[in-house]
Amino acid sequence: MAQYVKKLELFPQAAELQVVEISDGKINHVFRIYSQEHSVIYKQAVPYARTVGEDMPLPLERVRVEAEVLQQYEKIIVGSVPKVLHLDSDLAILITEDMAPLEVGRTALINDTESSHFAKDIGAFMATTMFYTSDFYLDSSTKKQKIQQFINAGMTDLTEELTFDRPYQVDDSNFFEDSLHDDVVWLSQDSKLHLEVAKLKRRFQNTKDALIHGDLHSGAIMLGNGRTVVFDTEFACYGPFGFDLGQFVANLWINGIGKQSSKYNRYRQSLETWYAFVERFTALWRTEAKERYTKVDGYLTAVLDEIREDMFGFAGCELIRRAIGIAQIPDLNHEEEESLRAANRRECVELGKYLIFNRQSIQSIEQIADWFKA
């Protein structure tokens, strides 16, 4: 590994290098390679999820998609992502800029050390990157070419399975306390809920609004030194505007439910995310749009209403899958007392169901404020 990066002239031949594995997610091997003067991040993909094994096969093509999406984001907002230093598609290796000493967003939220502006930053990031990769800015031919470039079939299949399928089945991979058994069985049997989840799954599968991150939670951002940086774009694809928004605000709410003292603050940050998105998206619509129908009165409002509805629906699915699915996160697992962990999971599930069932009638995030009051 050290010799590999030296051959790429990322370090001098005489440099004494240290290699430390810092794998945090469930899919790839990630290493920090550093000398006294310099460091890089070295990501090595394997054809399956690292923490699951060959029972969850994954395409190595995801490395190319990740690199090209980072490069696309860098073109749209300079400095918003780690710089891509090297991509080796044959060996499934991606080397990027090391963002240390920035802190992973999830860690910052758990420790209450997040910046005061990160939620607004992410809202503006989503609005900007989505707008410039949508039909509202791109010509039809270019948009279709980009859809093909970022098709990412294997990873979107996994998103569909983990977000819309497994949590609503009796599945050995689901994770929950014994006291939640009846709740989980109910999720697998409620046909009314399944109908709404099926509609949301279809939205994800067939709506190609813009280039989305596809896995934009607090563990996919880094904070510090006045910056908010987005990374881990291997799930990226063309999808609904509201998907990333739903995932992001849901993970804020999950953190608050898992740490009740932060609950209302996470709700407040979700408001900041949404309104920053609306403000930036609206500004770009009015100044940068190339689609002729953006001049039609009422069209922007209709688009934002649709995005908001999708945001609530996809947030509901994210709340449920993080509560009882295979993709567990520290936010809901740090309580030592089992009854407290179970109560937090149940609260996530109940909020998730409420959002899924009521996504069309909820006209603003303010309407769900009571869910976050002490």
Q: What is the DSSP string of 61-119?
A: THHHHHHHHHHHHHHHSTTSSPPEEEEETTTTEEEEE--TT-EEHHHHHHHT---SSHH
How far does CA 214 lie from the centroid of its chain? 5
Q: Would you state the pLDDT for residue 78? A: 98
Q: Would you state the pLDDT for residue 315? A: 99
Q: Would you state the pLDDT for residue 104? A: 96
Across-strand partners of 19?
Answer: 33
Q: Would you state the pLDDT for residue 51? A: 67
* Nearest partner of 120 among 219, 226, 225, 213, judged by Cα: 226
Q: Would you state the pLDDT for residue 162? A: 96
Here the tokens at position 231 are 């990374």
The Cα 47–Cα 20 span in angstroms is 22
Q: Which residues of 28-60 are buried (b: 16+ CB within 10 A; e: fewer)?
A: bebbebbbeeebbbbbbbeeebbeeeeebebbe
Q: Would you state the pLDDT for residue 50? A: 73
The full set of domains in the chain, from first to last, is 16-98 (3.30.200.20), 101-372 (3.90.1200.10)
Q: Would you state the pLDDT for residue 169? A: 96
Total-model pTM = 0.96
Dihedral sign, CA of 189, 339, 265, 318? negative
Given a contact cutoff of 8 angstroms between Cβ atoms, the answer to whether 300 and 294 are in contact is yes
Q: Would you state the pLDDT for residue 237? A: 98
The three-state secondary structure class of 336 is coil
Q: Would you state the pLDDT for residue 41? A: 98
Q: Which residues of 126-159 are buried (b: 16+ CB within 10 A; e: fewer)?
A: bbbbbbbbbbbbbeeeebeebeeebebeebbebb
Mean pLDDT in order along the chain per 10 residues (374 residues): 96 96 85 96 89 82 97 98 97 97 97 97 99 98 98 96 96 94 96 98 98 97 97 97 98 97 97 98 98 98 98 98 95 94 97 98 98 89
Task: Supply φ then ψ for residue 100, to 5 degrees.
Answer: -55, 140
Given a contact cutoff of 8 angstroms between Cβ atoms, the answer to whether 291 and 331 are in contact is no
| Cβ atoms < 10 Å from Cβ of 204 | 23
